[in-house]
């Protein structure tokens, strides 16, 4: 398989979608004839698929759920490509067409509509699991951590998960120079979810995540926050260092079965 052509196309599409808030996710597949690149947003997802058996590139789209893409993929662009005879020039033409498609006003309107639909369906259901799923758009590795948590424990341990999986990534991001877009996206999510979240979610955001931020990172965080979130954090700081009742750890299930990528295929 021509990995160079695939990487060129997938990277170009990823760059175009990044400005729209999409995040490229890691996709593993055992197929020798297929390669897949996945990009997830708030309410929709895109994927680039190369099927070596039919020698075609597919640009596809579907809606997002709390679990990830709903896998009801629709082809929105298809190109023939033979790795043995086609060159980088043909790959660049495919990339340009895919980029033009995702940046077109029609596709952007559809994405906005799906985002609104997803947001509306989530109203009244903003619990810790929903919150953590939202953060996958900033920290993609959380997707596997969430899946592991759900497979191993009868109920989602929001506070424990935030302390063990989210806090270290937030601290690392705030200490990292640059990454301004990711930092802004993080605090946009924190503010949005805090405003509509239940008491558990609000506590996780303020007393677990924000209260873990110290030093220069705290100033960086304040600059990225809305006044309302700053006020909520200020109130939460009164409880910093005080003992709280820990979540009761539950016995893990016997085994964890990793999900397959069959649904990602056509």
Give pLDDT, residue 251: 47
% of the chain with per-residue pLDDT over 70: 87
Q: Is position 246 within any domain?
A: no
Q: Residue 98's closest CA among 85, 84, 81?
A: 81
Residue 28 and residue 133 share a domain: no
Residue 130 and residue 228 share a domain: yes
Residue 140 and residue 58 share a domain: no
Q: Is position 265 within any domain?
A: no
Task: For residues 44-71, give the mean pLDDT.
Answer: 92
Strands 74-80, 68-69: pairing kind? unpaired
Task: For residues 226-240, give the mean pLDDT.
Answer: 91
Give pLDDT, residue 263: 52
Residue 230 and residue 154 share a domain: yes
CA atoms 199, 200, 203, 204: torsion sign = negative
Give pLDDT, residue 59: 97
% of the chain with per-residue pLDDT over 90: 62
Q: Is position 143 within any domain?
A: yes
Give pLDDT, residue 42: 84
Q: Is position 257 within any domain?
A: no
Question: What angle, rounded to 10 degrees, do the helices at 216-224 and 180-196 form?
Answer: 70
Alpha-carbon gap, residue 73 to 43, rounded angstroms = 14
pLDDT digits (tens, 9 = 90+) for 84-95: 999 999 999 999
Q: Is position 73 within any domain?
A: yes
Among candidate residues 120, 136, 164, the one where a domain is terminated: 120
Alpha-carbon gap, residue 11 to 6, rounded angstroms = 8
What range defines the domain where residue 82 resides?
3-120
Residue 212 and residue 146 share a domain: yes
Give pLDDT, residue 211: 94
Report how many domains make up the chain.
2
Residue 111 and residue 10 share a domain: yes
pLDDT digits (tens, 9 = 90+) for 7-28: 999 999 999 999 898 999 988 7
* Residue 240 C-beta-side C-alpha neighbours within 13 Å: 13
Q: Is position 166 within any domain?
A: yes
**Which carries the bigger pLDDT value, residue 3 or residue 66?**
3
Two structure tokens written together for 45: 């997802």
Residue 177 region by backbone torsions, left for phi larger than 0, else alpha for psi between -120 and 50, else beta: beta
Q: How many CB atoms lie within 10 A of CB 111?
A: 22
- The values of phi and psi at residue 240, to 5°, are -65, 130
Give pLDDT, residue 243: 60
Tell me how long the chain is.
266
Give pLDDT, residue 253: 43
Among candidate residues 72, 90, 120, the one where a domain is terminated: 120
Task: For residues 178-187, give the mean pLDDT.
Answer: 91
∠ CA 128-139-263, nearest 5°, is 85
Whole-number mean pLDDT of the chain?
Answer: 86
């Amino acid at each position: 398989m021509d990995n160079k052509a695939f990487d060129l196309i997938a990277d170009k599409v990823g760059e175009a979608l990044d400005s729209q808030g999409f995040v490229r996710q890691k996709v593993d597949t055992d197929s020798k004839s297929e390669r897949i690149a996945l990009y997830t947003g708030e309410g929709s997802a895109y994927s680039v698929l190369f099927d070596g058996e039919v020698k075609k590139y597919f640009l596809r789209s579907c809606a997002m759920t709390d679990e990830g893409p709903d896998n009801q993929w629709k082809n929105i662009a298809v190109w023939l490509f033979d790795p043995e005879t086609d060159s980088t020039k043909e790959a660049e033409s495919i990339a340009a067409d895919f980029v033009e498609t995702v940046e077109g006003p029609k596709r952007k309107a559809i994405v906005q509509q799906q985002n609104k639909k997803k947001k509306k369906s989530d109203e009244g259901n903003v619990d810790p699991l929903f919150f953590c799923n939202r953060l996958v758009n900033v920290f993609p590795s959380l997707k596997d951590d969430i899946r592991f948590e759900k497979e191993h424990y009868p109920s989602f341990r929001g506070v424990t998960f935030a302390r063990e999986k989210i806090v270290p990534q937030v601290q690392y991001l705030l200490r990292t120079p640059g990454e301004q877009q990711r930092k802004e996206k993080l605090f946009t999510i924190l503010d949005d979810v805090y405003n509509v979240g239940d008491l558990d979610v609000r506590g996780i955001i303020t007393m677990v995540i924000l209260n873990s931020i110290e030093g220069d990172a705290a100033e960086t965080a304040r600059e990225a926050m809305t006044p309302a979130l700053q006020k909520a954090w200020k109130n939460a700081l009164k409880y910093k260092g005080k003992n709280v009742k820990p979540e009761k750890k539950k016995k893990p299930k016997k085994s964890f079965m990793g999900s397959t990528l069959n649904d990602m295929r056509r």
